[in-house]
Amino acid sequence: MTINEETIVMTPLWLAIEENLLALEGQSITEEDKEKTVRKMVGDLDGKGYAVSKSGIKMMALRWALDDMLKVGRPMLKDLNKALSALTLEDLANPCHASYRVTDDLGKTWERIQKTDRREALIWMFEDAKLDLLIEKAQGMGGDLGIRLLIDENVESPVILERMGIPQEKLDQVNADIAAEIAARNNVLSLLETVEDKPDHEKVKFLFSNDIPEDLIIEVAQIDQADIDKAKKAMEEELKEQQRLADEAAAKRKAEAEGPALEDIPMEQVAEHIYAIREIQYFSEVEKEIRAMCEQSAIPKALVDLSFSDPDKFDELEKQCEG
């Protein structure tokens, strides 16, 4: 979509002639002025390196183009530029095909436009017209969307940098984002292979369990929103059940760690535990340390709590055990 400077060094002669003729538009050229006009154009073209004055074939090409313009009443390039300006991006989806359509129409008036030696330059002109429209569209898009559009259309990096006015770092960042998105999509496709025989709601559950976001599931797996909602509801129920079981297990562990209620402890065991608590209190007076050591010794929490919350009752219970 850009001029290859290694292969196209200068504008083709036929197009350079047409550009000169376009510059003459509006001037009244009679047969008497014709030779004067030819000489002037030859001088201009020679000055640009075309050496028209040294080639009979080139001189004939110039005269034929001038004759065509005088016959039709306007330069051919005017019609071509008008046709190009009327094209949309949709029209230029394939610039080569678009060039054939337009030149077939223009050929009814300008027969020479269909000559094969003009094909390459014409295709370039249509490609350049498409590029201009792409740049215009990209510049009107927000965020990185315009840059992404040009990358997707295979516009060369130097052209993107120049026409969009962005630094290399910005283009590198957008390219990296695109690469990451492609990798994420490929990951989804790989995961889907492992559950290809499962119903859609099961596929969704599997993808969710692998931290795949919902929008990527819709885009890549092409699964209906109804199946996604069904999978999400099922997963919510599963999570609730898992949480209920976890809460029950935690309560059970807590109860086992705390031991039985005070009234459920046989008196002979109460005596043993009180004796153990007194020994621990002998080594420390810090409640946190006492509780930790009591827990390590599997002393029921009810007795430990009583020793701190109601020392008098704890002493009385100790006496009962001694009696």
- Residue-wise pLDDT for 72-89, tens only, equals 989 999 999 999 999 999
> What pLDDT was estimated at residue 214?
83
Confidence of residue 9 (pLDDT cuts 50, 70, 90): low
d(CA 103, CA 80): 8
The identity of residue 20, as a single letter, is N
pLDDT at 174 over 80: yes
H-run or E-run covering 63: helix 56-72
Determine which of 184-193, 212-221, 244-253, 291-300 has the lowest per-residue pLDDT on average: 244-253
Residue 17 · residue 62 · CB < 8 Å: yes
For range 254-262, the mean pLDDT: 70
62 and 52 Cβ atoms separated by less than 8 Å: yes
Q: What is the pLDDT of residue 145?
A: 95
Q: Give me the mean pLDDT over the 19-41 stretch.
A: 85
Q: Which residue has the higher pLDDT, 252 or 289?
A: 289
**pLDDT averaged over every residue in the chain:** 87
Question: Predicted confidence band at 231 (pLDDT cuts at 50, 70, 90)?
Answer: confident
pLDDT at 323: 62
Residue 312, pLDDT score: 87
Question: Does position 2 have pLDDT exceeding 70, yes or no?
Answer: no
pTM > 0.75? no
Q: Please give the backbone phi and psi of residue 284, each rounded to the nearest 5 degrees, phi first.
A: -150, 145
Least confident of 50-54, 226-230, 278-282, 309-313: 226-230
pLDDT above 70 (res 3): no
Q: Which of 7 and 138 is assigned the larger pLDDT?
A: 138
| CA separation for the pair 109, 227 (Å, rounded) | 60
Average pLDDT over every residue of 254-280: 79
Q: Is the dihedral of CA 310, 313, 315, 317 positive or negative?
A: negative
Higher pLDDT among residues 174 and 302, named by residue: 174
pLDDT over 60 at 5, yes or no: no
User: Any idea which of 3-17, 25-39, 142-156, 220-234 has the lowest mean pLDDT?
Assistant: 3-17
What is the per-residue pLDDT for 1?
A: 41
pLDDT over 90 (residue 16): yes
Neighbouring CB atoms inside 10 A of 13's CB total: 21
Contact 28, 73 (CB under 8 A): no
- pLDDT exceeds cutoff 80 at 147: yes
- Give the C-alpha separation, 131 to 133, whole Å: 5
Is 285 a residue whose pLDDT tops 90?
A: no
**Average pLDDT score over residue span 133-143:** 94
- Alpha helices, DSSP H only, in 140-199? 145-152, 157-164, 168-194
